[in-house]
C-alpha cells in the first residue's frame, strides 16, 4: 500500500490542469476537421484564441487583476475553442471575433469573471450570433468542395466571393427543409437514403466529428474531469423523445441514432452541459438539468425555427439552475430530514 499521501488530502486539481485536459479532449475533433476541411480550421481556432486572450487581458486590466495568473488558467482558450468549433467552418473572421469577444466581455466578465457567470459563455455567443446573423451562421461548407487553402482563407477574410460549395446546410437543416417541402408526401427514409449528404448515421463526414467528440468526452470521464450524470442524462433526454416519436411515426421522424450523431449533440453532451459553473451542482439536479436540456434541444431542432437547439436548451436550463439546485439538495450529514 502507498502511505505517502494521507487519505484526507484532495487531488492535485487546478483550473489550469482541468482546462488543459478539456483542450486535449477537443483535439480528436480538431483532427477530424483537419482531415475533412484542411488547415483552415486552425486559422479559425487561432483567430478565436487571440480574440479571447485580448478581451480577457483588457477586462482583467480594467479591474486591476494580475494578467499572468488569469490568462494562464486556460479558461478563455477553452471558450474560444468551443466557439470556433461550434461556428460554421470558414465563417467570416469578424463573426468569430464578435462571438468570442461577446462571450468573454459580456457573458463572463460583466458577471464577475471566472466562476461567476450564470450562463455558458460559448452558448451565449452562439445564440447571439445566430439570432443576429442567421444567414452567415447557416453557411456550412460542403465536405467535397474542391478549393485550395488559399481559397478558404480568401473566403474567410472577404477577399473572394462566396463559393457555391459553401451554400450547403447542416444535415439537420436539410432534413427539416425536405420534410417541410414534401408536406407529408416524402418519408425520412427516402431523404436519408442520399448518403452523399447524410452518410450512414448523421451527415456525411460530420458523423465522424461527432464520434471524435464522443471519444474526447469519454476520455474526460475516464480522467474524472467530468461525471456521468450530465452527459448520460442529456443523451438520454435526446434518445427518449426522438425514440418515442420515431417508433410512433418513422416516416416523419428520424431515428435516435441520427440525432445522436447530428448537429451539436455530442459536443453539447460532453463539453457544454458539463460546464461546472453554469450547470446544476447536485447529483439529482444534474440528471434533471441534462435530461431536460436533451428534450428541449430535440424539440427546437425538430419543431423550432433553428436547425439545432443545443445552445438555446442549455441557456434555458441555466436559468433554472437555482431552482433545480434548491429542490434537489441532498440531506445534510448528521441532520434528520423534514417529514
pLDDT tens, position by position, 89-108: 888 999 999 999 999 999 99
Distance CA 171, CA 238 (A): 17
pLDDT recorded at residue 9: 45
Distance CA 325, CA 330 (A): 9
pLDDT tens, position by position, 31-75: 999 998 889 999 999 999 999 999 999 999 998 888 887 788 899
pLDDT recorded at residue 334: 62
Q: Count of CB atoms within 10 A of residue 160's CB?
A: 14
Write out residues in the chain with pLDDT < 50, as ranges: 1-10, 165, 339
pLDDT recorded at residue 155: 84
pLDDT recorded at residue 169: 67
pLDDT recorded at residue 339: 46
User: Would you give the end-to-end CA distance of the chain in angstroms?
Assistant: 44
Q: Are 29 and 209 in contact (CB under 8 A)?
A: yes
Residue 87, helix vs strand vs coil? coil
Q: Does the pTM of the predicted model rise above 0.85?
A: yes
Distance CA 237, CA 186 (A): 27
140 has which bridge partners? 168
Q: Return the axis-axis angle of helices 93-102 and 40-62, rounded to nearest 10°.
A: 40
Distance CA 220, CA 312 (A): 24
Taking alpha carbons only, the member of 192, 182, 141, 185 closest to residue 163 is 141
Q: Are 228 and 235 in contact (CB under 8 A)?
A: no
Q: Are 220 and 270 in contact (CB under 8 A)?
A: yes
Place of cell 478549393: 147
Cα 233 from chain centroid? 16
In degrees, rounded to 5, the angle at the alpha carbon of residue 89 between the alpha carbons of residues 174 and 236 is: 60
Amino acid at each position: 500500500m502507498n502511505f505517502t499521501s494521507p487519505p484526507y488530502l484532495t487531488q492535485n486539481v487546478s483550473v489550469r490542469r482541468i482546462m488543459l485536459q478539456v483542450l486535449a479532449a477537443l483535439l480528436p475533433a480538431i483532427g477530424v476537421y483537419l482531415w475533412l476541411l484542411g488547415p483552415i480550421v486552425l486559422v479559425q481556432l487561432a483567430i478565436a484564441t487571440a480574440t479571447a486572450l485580448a478581451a480577457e487581458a483588457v477586462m482583467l486590466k480594467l479591474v486591476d487583476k494580475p494578467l499572468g495568473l488569469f490568462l494562464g488558467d486556460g479558461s478563455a482558450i477553452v471558450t474560444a475553442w468551443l466557439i470556433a468549433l461550434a461556428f460554421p467552418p470558414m465563417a467570416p473572421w469578424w463573426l468569430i471575433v464578435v462571438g468570442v469577444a461577446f462571450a468573454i466581455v459580456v457573458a463572463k466578465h460583466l458577471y464577475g469573471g471566472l466562476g461567476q457567470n450564470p450562463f455558458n459563455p460559448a452558448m451565449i455567443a452562439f445564440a447571439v450570433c445566430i439570432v443576429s446573423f442567421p444567414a452567415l451562421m447557416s453557411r456550412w461548407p460542403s465536405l467535397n468542395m474542391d478549393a485550395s487553402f488559399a481559397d478558404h482563407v480568401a473566403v474567410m477574410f472577404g477577399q473572394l466571393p462566396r463559393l457555391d460549395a459553401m451554400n450547403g446546410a447542416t444535415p439537420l437543416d436539410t432534413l427539416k427543409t425536405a420534410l417541410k417541402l414534401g408536406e407529408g408526401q416524402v418519408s425520412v427514409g427516402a431523404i436519408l437514403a442520399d448518403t452523399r449528404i447524410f452518410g450512414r448515421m448523421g451527415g456525411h463526414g460530420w458523423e465522424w466529428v461527432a464520434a471524435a467528440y464522443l471519444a474526447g468526452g469519454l476520455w474526460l470521464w475516464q480522467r474524472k474531469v467530468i461525471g456521468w450524470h450530465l452527459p448520460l442524462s442529456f443523451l438520454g433526454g435526446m434518445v427518449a423523445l426522438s425514440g418515442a416519436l420515431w417508433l410512433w411515426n418513422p416516416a416523419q421522424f428520424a431515428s435516435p441514432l441520427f440525432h445522436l450523431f447530428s448537429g451539436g449533440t455530442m459536443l453539447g453532451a460532453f463539453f457544454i452541459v458539463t460546464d461546472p459553473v453554469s450547470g446544476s451542482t447536485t447529483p439529482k439536479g444534474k440528471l434533471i438539468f441534462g435530461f431536460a436540456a436533451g428534450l428541449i434541444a430535440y424539440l427546437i431542432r425538430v419543431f423550432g425555427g433553428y436547425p439545432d437547439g443545443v445552445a438555446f436548451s442549455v441557456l434555458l436550463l441555466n436559468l433554472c439552475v437555482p431552482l433545480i439546485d434548491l429542490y434537489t439538495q441532498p440531506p445534510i450529514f448528521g441532520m434528520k430530514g423534514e417529514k
